[in-house]
Amino acid sequence: MLTPLGIGVEKSWNAMCRGESGIDKVTHFDTTDMPSKIAGEIKGFDPADYIEQKEIKKMDRFIQLAVAASQMVMDDCALKVTDENAPRIGTIVGAGMGGLSSIEFFYKRLLEGGPRRVSPFFIPIVIINLAAGQIAIRFGLKGPNSAVATACASGTHAIGDAFKIIQRGDADAMMAGGAEACITAIGFAGFCAAKALSTNNDEPKKASRPFDAKRDGFVMGEAAGLLMLEELEFAQKRGAKIYAEVVGYGMTGDAYHITAPSPDGDGAYRCMKAALGDSGLPQTSIQYINAHGTSTKFNDELETMAIKRLFNEYAYKIPVSSTKSMTGHLLGAGGGVEAVVSVLTIVNGIIHPTINYEHPDPQCDLDYVPNKARQAKVDAVLSNSFGFGGTNASLIFKKFEK
């Protein structure tokens, strides 16, 4: 993963465990006229560290991040792609908005200099499925190739869909997750107009405060997070390092509003319930929930409500924390990054905190692992992602037992 906390899994994860924030003043564009001036930008990313120079100009930043993450995945998993297995290895990468910065850039060129100023690569630079496309081309992955565009649930849906593709026998391995890079003037202006963003500009590192009574909106972030999913026998036969097992996937729709979640939290409840049913695990096996936890009033209240409805009194015994308290809201990349985090929680026995939790909200009364990481034996994790349009996704990861 590449996040506002660092480039690479180790840097990002260690910073999360320390409870650090990756939020700061925006540098990607001039925020003078914007009510919000803060975001979770990835610092020090150079696409040339991962991508051939001539190929960089053919990719929007979100694709560059996805390709960089894919190289990290391939380096880690040591999966050798051959002529024989390539048709059984695929990729699904989600994004919420695609190449927004490149759309801005080339539209300005069009207005200033006419159509000749628009790159012949413009379309493949910006369309969402080219993250998966570029990864497949890079590594010769000839299996199922797709993209998911379900707003903030994109990365989670991508992993869940890849899980089901393998489960039904259509692939042996799938690289899956999400990438997003839309900290741009038009992206910011849109979210500001919707009054969705925090305006706590004077204290950027305290602006993202999920479940806290003084939360005032989410903070935009950019990132990429990918996993390699493999069918068990395929992984074991090649001696793969197995971090965890994907055991459950749920997806639902609110059918309520274009941006607001259903006021009874029913969509989130049914989504988590579906994932739990798919996993075959009892409720009490879930030992940690990586919450959607956006730092908006209604999302945090309604996710809490849905958790309590599903788990009843056991809900108060489950640690719940929000990665977004430190990274900001990574939009389509959030589910990918949070899936990596969920797996690392199982592997390392550490639950990262929800930082900036200072003022308890009576409507949000669960154990949010406030401000400090916690050591704990975690064998099963539920990870939630909910998006605009009322689209919901939940995944369950479980400790792998030989």
Whats the size of the chain, residue-wise?
A: 402
Q: Is the pLDDT of residue 131 over 90?
A: yes
Is 352 an active-site residue? no
Asked about 364 being catalytic, the answer comes back as no
Using CB atoms within 10 Å of the CB of residue 309, give its burial: 0 to 12 exposed, 13 to 18 middle, 19+ buried: middle
Q: Please tell me the predicted confidence (pLDDT) of residue 402.
A: 81
Q: For residue 314, what are the CA distances in angstroms to 125, 284, 310, 322?
A: 47, 7, 9, 19
Instruction: Provide mean pLDDT across the span 11-27.
Output: 98
- Residues 88-130 have pLDDT tens digits of 999 999 999 999 999 999 999 999 999 999 999 999 999 999 9
Catalytic residue among 77, 157, 192, 292: 292
Q: Hey, where are the domains in the chain?
A: 2-398
pLDDT, mean of residues 73-99: 98
Picking from 125, 5, 149, the residue whose alpha carbon sits closest to that of residue 67 is 125
Q: Which of 17, 152, 271, 364 is catalytic?
A: 152
CA distance 202 to 151: 28
The string of pLDDT tens digits covering residues 153-189 is 999 999 999 999 999 999 999 999 999 999 999 999 9
Model confidence at 10: pLDDT above 90:
yes
- pLDDT tens for residues 378-393? 999 999 999 999 999 9
Summarised one tens digit per residue, pLDDT across range 258-299 is 999 999 999 999 999 999 999 999 999 999 999 999 999 999
Q: What is the pLDDT of residue 400?
A: 97
257 is catalytic: no
Backbone φ, ψ for residue 7 (5° rounding) = -95, 120
Confidence band of 193 (pLDDT split at 50, 70, 90)? very high
Structure tokens at 285: 């096996």
d(CA 371, CA 384): 20
pTM for this model (two decimals): 0.98
Catalytic residue among 182, 329, 352, 364: 329
The CATH number of 2-398, from 3.40.50.360, 3.30.300.30, 3.40.47.10, 3.40.50.10420, is: 3.40.47.10
**CA 22, CA 33: separation in Å to the nearest integer?**
23
